[in-house]
Amino acid sequence: MGILLQLLIVVGLSPLLTGMMRQIRARLEGRAGAGIGQPWRDLRKLMRKRPIAPHGTTEVFRIAPLVLVATCLVVAAAAPFVTTASVLDPVADLFAVVALLTLGTVALALAGIDTGTAFGGMGASREATIIALVEPTLLVAIFALSVPVGSTNLGAIVTSTLNDPAQVFSPVSLLAAVALIVVIVAETGRLPVDNPSTHLELTMVHEAMVLEYSGPDLAMVELASSMRLTVFLGLLANLFLPWGIATTGQPLLVAAAVLAFVVKVALLGACLAVGEVFLAKLRLFRVPELLAGSFVLGLLAVGASFFLA
Amino acid sequence: MQIRHVDAGSCNGCEVEIGAAFGPVYDAERYGARLVASPRHADALLVTGVVTRNMAAPLRRTFEAVPDPKLVVAVGDCARNCGVFAGAYGVAGAVRDVVPVDLEVPGCPPRPEAIVDAVRKLTGR
Amino acid sequence: MNLVLGALLTALAVGALSAVAGLFLPRDVRPAVVGVGVAVSGASAVVAGAAAMTGQAAALVLPDLLPLAGVLVTVDALGGVFLAVTGGVAVAVGIYGIGYCRQHGLDARGVQAVLPLFVAAMMLVPVAASVGTFLLCWELMALTSLLLVIAEHRSRPAVAQAGRWYAVMTHLGMVAILIGLLVFAAHAVDGSFAALRLAAPGLSPAVAGLVFVATGIGFGSKAGIVPLHAWLPRAHPEAPSNVSALMSAAMVNLGVYGIVRVGFDLLGGARDGAAGWWWLLVLGLGAVSAIYGILQAAIGTNLKRLLGYSTTENMGLVLVGVGAAGMFATSGDVTLAGLAMAAALLHLVNHAAFKTLLFQSAGSVLAATGRRDLDDLGGLRAGMPGTTAAFGLGALAASALPPGAAFVSEWLLLQALIHGLPAAGVSAAIVMPLAVAAVALTAGLAVATFVKAFGIGFLARPRSPQAEHATESPASMLAGMGIAAAACIGLAVLPTLVLPTIGAVAGASVGATDPVQIDGMTIRLVGVAGALSPLMLTIALVVGLVAALAGVRVLATRRAARAARLWDCGAGPLSARMEYTATSFAEPLQRVFDDVVRAEQDVDVTHHDESRYLVQLVEYRRRVPDRIERKLYEPVLAVMAAWGRAGRRLAPGSVHRYLGYGFYALCGLLIVLVVTR
């Protein structure tokens, strides 16, 4: 039951998250914006477009959006967003979740290469570089999070933070949180690593891989992007601020947990959107410096977890 | 409604007006329209400028790249009937000579309000 | 005569018979018979190894076979793992070789006779139980592999050079192992491993350290560990692909076997704390090899060289696990040591499966197109769908992503490393995060490498006429690839079947009990908190895929897709030259890691005769040299060459001088004898 609820929330509300972030951006830029529901309208319209099969692509091009959506669905079902006890608990390991999300990106990169155009190859090449450089920070930050708990199981980490709220304000947690924020920005392709609304191919990373998609495939890619953002923000929220999550199956607690999750993710998304308005995109070869800095923070977090324990 | 802009050979006057139409003052985005980076993502093409000889085939291919159902909007007098460049040696014709046009926006350049009106006709809001 | 001994003897007998058959049968049936023989021998070895892993042991003593020492064979659990892995690889490669050898002109008597001997030698190394037997089998393995590596030297000159490097390095390694084992045996009653085990507690730390380092040099070189890895990326591209598969998936494992056998079993390195620095050294070298290997693979464009460097990377990861196991064991936490060792052994098994598959597909591509450079391939999906699927599966497994095979072993390795923090004190507090970072960077670069290899090599459009006209391989090659693919899928989805056995073996080698427990579909760690269910993950992914597909079918429009040309900005047509190549794909990575990689670029501009301002031709060449070779090997080779030149002056050709040398040496020896008596 918890799984179904989490899936419904993530699938249903993630386009609204994207809409809300675009709306906040528009308002801060002095425009009226299209409204929160615009991404859903766009998805509905895309589903009704006639699909296009470009010459010279293989099954990888057709299957990649499905793999992307499937990985997001599995993570949305397994991660502790609404309840901590999940049937998919053996899958809810932080390493496994991160690897699943990487699988989705890899599928998209392969689809980009499969188009055989320079755009797809360039997007895939840049995305592969960013994945390679984000991995050390990500895994070291997970290491830092797991040391106080003794496990990388998501449910265990959330329960441990619930039982010991002071843990959140320790240096370990704060350093790991900052490192993870940089990682999330890199993995979801937001400013300052990548501009999701750019038209200039030379500045594209994620967009370049999907330039060839249209109709229902594009709808799946867009939905998966929103779901990835929701899932990452949800993980950030529940790993560091888990209050409100339901530890038992009582309907009242579960309803409160849904509300808490939605509020937390919305707040984090709003902060991200406000930050994006004031940031410019980094040059591609400055991104490794940013990621190296976050890696140092992650290493410090692990060191702190040992020396301050 | 996602829109892809194609410059078929314009003097960029219409581009400035389109930029203003999607900017903070006139804000065409609040009616559900968005400029996108690829014709595959688009439902409508916003074509500016007279179609030069070099851009005739690319414009046709861009039109073919847009998935059905699709629309074409010709913005500016040059796009409608070659405007001031009628009869020049580099001109292949107006936009309707190359791709079927569904909506025209007159003016040289058209005011941003006229462009926003055309966008509202496309989105129905 | 129990199952283990019977199966082992069957394997060796079938191997010997196949070698004889390879010498005497006519050319058209030679590859088929030898291939089937190798496969049967391999299957037998798998049975022997599996039985040994579950606890049955066997011993065989043949005192008169070797002068002075005799042949001692003991099959125990640790040897059983390597025996089974070698056998499994032999099964796949044997079947694959039937078609490959015929296609590539490798059905000469020499090659076909030596191939089963190579497999038999690889089966004998893990079961050798005395110094003499071990060295004999090791040398047999080295010689047979050398003969196979230079099999094609008549058609390509680069093969001879690669053979020379391989011969020199493998024999230098053998000398190092010889020195180490002889020093060890000198302190024991005789050369048998049982006697060495008894003598180990009596060794001083300096001698034990010397033995470990000396044998470690030889075994590390065989495993392809930096800085003694230089033979790997040279020998693998030049050897025939089935030989490359055998070498990369079965032979390099024996380097790890040697380190584990000598370090943990014979020297007892898990017991006392003074040996802690050994395992730190192993872990450090493993981490450096992993990063260096995968970085070179990420930048490289030669398909088989890329796979060779990937072998260095994976062996580095295995040694990270072995080193971590040693560090935990010497600081007292044997459960965690067992976990790290189990991760290392499982990664070894996974690597054997996917490396076999990758080399087989690479060989298939080479046979069909004659091209080894990724920049010339592409578009192979249309002509070679089976090979493309096989390489895709192998690439998924190699990049350590779920639901691939290496994901489970990397998960276990990471779990062992992250739980090691409180155990081993301040040194662990510094080493473990760096080790995790190294494993993570390796994983990220491996993803980039295999996306490049699979995407550029097999997808999109062909970049050369040979790639365009490629056709699928014959059925025997596809069958061989199918066997390896089945092993990859089995290890990915159902590692719960092999983990208990491997875990028990790992635990026993460090002195612990089982480090992993299987709970239905889930792998649970013993002593620390951690659980993973690869089967559940795969099922969840499949369900997710089906749900996504169903969602699209239900919600999307039912109109048929319209065929269209690719979006290329309207100008066109798109030629194959406009596609991204492997070089361009890796360029951002090369720029980021420029300090390590230091690519060399040459630009030659030819101007027109009439005017210096008009350019006629620009030639651009970029080479990525192996920097360790540059910095380490070239000075050593220069010193050796200088020494040789200096030595030439000692032998000018005058007989008087040579007689004088003999006279003075004899006088000096007599004086020394008088003085020391």
Amino acid code (one letter) for C125: V
The answer for residues whose C-beta is within 8 angstroms of residue C523's C-beta and 6 or more apart is: C408, C412, C495, C496, C499, C516, C517, C531, C532, C533, C534
Q: A146 pLDDT band (50/70/90 cuts)?
A: confident
Number of H helices, E strands in chain C: 28, 8
AA identity, residue A171:
P
Residue C565 near chain B (CB below 8 Å): yes
Bridge partner residues of C516 (DSSP): C525
Which residue from C557, C560, C563 is facing A55, i.e. has the nearest CB? C563
Q: How far is CA C106 from CA B19, C151, C236, C305, C384, in A?
A: 67, 8, 16, 21, 22
- The mean pLDDT of A257-272, rounded to a whole number, is 92
Name which residue leads in pLDDT, C441 or C571.
C441
* pLDDT bracket for residue C411 (50, 70, 90): very high
How many Å apart are CA C517 and CA C514, to the nearest integer? 7
3-state secondary structure at position C357: helix
Residue B64: what residue type? E
pLDDT at C423 over 70: no
pLDDT tens digits, one per residue of A233-251: 999 998 888 888 887 778 8
State the pLDDT at residue A244. Answer: 82
Q: How many Å apart are CA A76 and CA A251, to the nearest integer?
A: 20
Domain of B111 in residue numbering reads as 2-123
* Lowest-confidence segment of C211-215, C269-273, C472-476 by average pLDDT: C269-273
Q: Which of A48, A45, A96 is nearest to A74 (CA)?
A: A96
**pLDDT tens digits for C602-659?**
899 998 888 888 888 888 888 888 888 888 888 999 999 999 999 888 888 889 989 9
Tens-digit pLDDT profile for residues C130-179: 898 999 999 999 999 999 998 887 888 889 989 999 999 999 999 999 99
Of C418, C452, C548, the CB nearest to A69: C548
A–C interface: beta-carbon pairs under 8 A: 256
Q: Do C567 and A212 touch (CB under 8 A)?
A: yes
Flag whether residue C567 sits within 8 Å of chain B, measured between CB atoms: yes
Nearest to A34 among B29, B37, B41 (CB): B29
The conformation of residue C127, written as its DSSP 8-state character, comes to G
Cα distances (Å, whole numbers) of residue B39 to A14, A23, B63, B94, C552: 25, 24, 8, 20, 22
Nearest-by-Cβ selection for C566 from A106, A117, A309: A117
Across the interface, whether the CB atoms of C564 and B64 are under 8 A apart is answered yes
CA distances from C421 to A139, A150, C328, C415 (A): 15, 10, 10, 11
For residue range A10-53, list pLDDT tens digits in order. 999 999 999 999 999 999 988 888 888 999 999 999 998 888 88
Tell me the pairing of strands C615-623 and B71-75.
unpaired
Q: What is the bridge-based pairing of β-strands C615-623 and B34-35?
A: unpaired
Q: Which of A27, A115, A202, A218 would you mutate first to test chain B, the one with the most B CBs within 10 A? A: A218
**CB atoms < 10 A from the CB of A278, how many?**
8
Here the ipTM equals 0.93
| Residue A309: predicted pLDDT | 64
Instruction: Give the whole-angstrom CA distance, residue A147 versus residue A52.
Output: 50
Residue A12 contacts C where some CB pair is shorter than 8 Å? no
**Given an 8 Å threshold on Cβ–Cβ distance, is C565 in contact with B67?**
no
Beta strand residue intervals within C224-335, DSSP E? none
Which chains have at least 3 CB atom pairs separated by less than 8 Å from chain C?
A, B
| Other beta carbons less than 10 A from residue C451's beta carbon | 27
CA B119/CA B28 separation, integer angstroms: 7
CB B58 to CB C571 under 8 A? yes
Q: Tell me, what's the pLDDT at C287?
A: 95
> What average pLDDT does chain C have?
89
A138 vs C: CB within 8 A: yes
What digits encode the pLDDT tens for the residues B55-89? 999 999 999 999 988 999 999 999 999 888 888 99
Distance of residue A74 Cα from the nearest chain C Cα, in angstroms:
6
Q: How far, CA to CA in Å, does C228 sit from each of A38, C129, C244, C569? A: 60, 26, 18, 49
Split at pLDDT 50, 70, 90, the class of C406 is very high
CB contact at 8 A, C113 and C22: yes
Alpha-carbon distance of C455 to A226, in angstroms, equals 26
Which residues of chain A are within 8 Å of residue B6 when distances are taken between CB atoms?
none
Which CATH number does the domain housing residue B64 bear? 3.40.50.12280
Largest interatomic CA distance in chain C: 104
Chain B residues in contact with C564 by the CB 8 A cut-off are 64-65
**Alpha-carbon span A9 to A32, nearest angstrom:** 27
- Out of C79-93, C250-264, C322-336, least confident range: C322-336
Helices marked H in chain A — which ranges?
2-28, 38-47, 59-78, 94-114, 118-149, 154-163, 171-188, 206-209, 215-240, 251-278, 287-307
- Helix and strand totals (H; E) in chain B: 4, 7
Tell me what the pLDDT averaged over chain A comes to. Answer: 89
The answer to whether C415 and C339 are in contact (CB under 8 A) is: yes
pLDDT given for residue C579 in this prediction? 87
Residue A105 has pLDDT above 70, yes or no: yes
A contacts of B23 (beta carbons < 8 Å): 31
Tokens of A228: 């990835």
Q: What is the pLDDT of residues A173-214, one digit of tens each?
A: 899 999 999 999 999 988 888 888 888 888 888 988 999 998
**% of chain C residues with pLDDT over 90:** 48
| Token pair recorded at residue C12 | 């060796």
Please tell me if residue B109 touches chain C, with a CB cutoff of 8 Å.
no
| pTM over cut 0.90 | yes
CB–CB contact C570 B67 (8 Å): no
* A chain contacts of residue B65, beta-carbon cutoff 8 Å: 52
By Cβ distance, the residue of B2, B31, B68 closest to A50 is B68
Which residues from chain A sit within 8 angstroms of residue C548, using beta carbons?
A: 65-66, 69-70, 73, 220
Q: What's the confidence (pLDDT) of residue C424? A: 59
| Burial of B40 (C-beta count, 10 Å sphere; 0-12/13-18/19+) | buried
Query: By CA distance, what is C555's nearest residue in A?
Result: A47
A117 SS3 class = coil
Confidence at C37, pLDDT banded by 50, 70, 90: very high
Q: How confident is the model at residue C450 (pLDDT cuts 50, 70, 90)?
A: very high
DSSP A282: P
CB A136 within 8 A of CB A89: no
Give the model's pLDDT for residue A302: 86
What is the distance between the alpha carbons of residues B79 and C369, in angstroms, rounded to a whole number?
A: 51
What are the residues whose beta carbons fall under 8 Å from the beta carbon of C434, sequence distance 6 or more?
A299, C287
C565 contact residues in B (CB cutoff 8 A) = 61, 64-65
Q: Is the pLDDT of residue C272 over 70?
A: no
**Residues near C176 by beta carbon (within 8 Å), at least 6 away in sequence:** C214, C215, C217, C218, C221
